[in-house]
């Protein structure tokens, strides 16, 4: 590898609720995934969250191996895993435009915009009203 291609990487951002994940994919000889400077299995202890994070790699069926580094902030572990999934899917799409149809049909390129609704004044929560009494 020359010095020019050694620094080439694909970067994408994934978001979910208040989580943000910045994903960098670098072509490599072996597959490795690091989240906030930890191995994927070390960062996400639950196997379900690990599979959620790397689902786009499995569904796209890419033979090329990548060294993936992720910086993620905000939210909980589940929303961080979903943000990583969206970021990886977007990076794969930038790597190969032909895989867009596969990723889109699996629903991996769609950002889940659901978030917590803000509290309104006069109410206890976003929609819960205090008990009403006639007298």
Dump pLDDT digits (tens) for 64-96.
899 999 999 999 999 999 999 999 999 999 999
Among 116, 18, 134, smallest CA distance to 73 is for 18
Is 118 inside any structural domain? no
- Residue 18: CB partners within 8 Å, gap ≥ 6? 74, 75, 79, 115
Reported as a single tens digit per residue, the pLDDT across 39-64 is 999 999 999 999 999 999 999 988 88
Residue 6 has what pLDDT?
55
Mean pLDDT (whole number) for 13-38: 95
Is 41 inside any structural domain? yes
Is 27 inside any structural domain? yes
Is 113 inside any structural domain? no
**How sure is the predictor about 1, in pLDDT bands with cuts at 50, 70 and 90?**
very low
103 has a pLDDT exceeding 70: yes
> Which string of DSSP letters, residue by residue, matches the chain?
--HHHHT--EEEEEEETTEEEEEEEEE-SS-EEEETTEEHHHH--SHHHHHHHTHHHHHHT--S-EEEEEEEESS-HHHHHHHHHHHHHHHHHHH-GGGHHHHHHTT-SS-----PPPPPTTSSSSSPPPPP---
2 has a pLDDT exceeding 50: no
Q: How many angstroms separate the CA atoms of 93 and 134, rounded? A: 59
Residue 3 has what pLDDT?
47
Is 134 inside any structural domain? no
Question: Is the entire prediction scored with pTM above 0.85?
Answer: yes
Q: Which residue has the tokens 């490795």?
A: 32
Q: How many domains does the chain have?
A: 1
C-beta atoms surrounding 77 within 10 Å: 14
CATH number at residue 25: 3.30.230.10
Q: For the chain, what is the mean pLDDT? A: 92
Residue 47 has what pLDDT?
96
Residue 15 has what pLDDT?
97
């Amino acid at each position: 590898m020359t010095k020019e291609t050694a620094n080439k990487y694909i970067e994408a951002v994934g978001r979910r609720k208040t989580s943000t994940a910045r994903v960098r994919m670098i072509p490599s000889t072996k597959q490795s995934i690091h989240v906030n400077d930890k191995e994927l299995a070390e960062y996400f202890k639950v196997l379900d969250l690990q599979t959620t994070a790397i689902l786009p790699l499995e569904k796209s069926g890419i033979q090329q191996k990548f060294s993936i580094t992720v910086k993620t902030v905000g939210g909980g572990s589940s929303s961080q895993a979903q943000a990583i999934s969206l970021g990886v899917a977007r990076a794969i799409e930038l790597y190969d435009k032909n895989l867009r149809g596969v990723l889109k049909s699996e629903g991996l390129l769609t950002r889940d915009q659901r978030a917590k609704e803000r509290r309104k004044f006069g109410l206890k929560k976003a929609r819960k009203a205090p008990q009403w009494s006639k007298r």
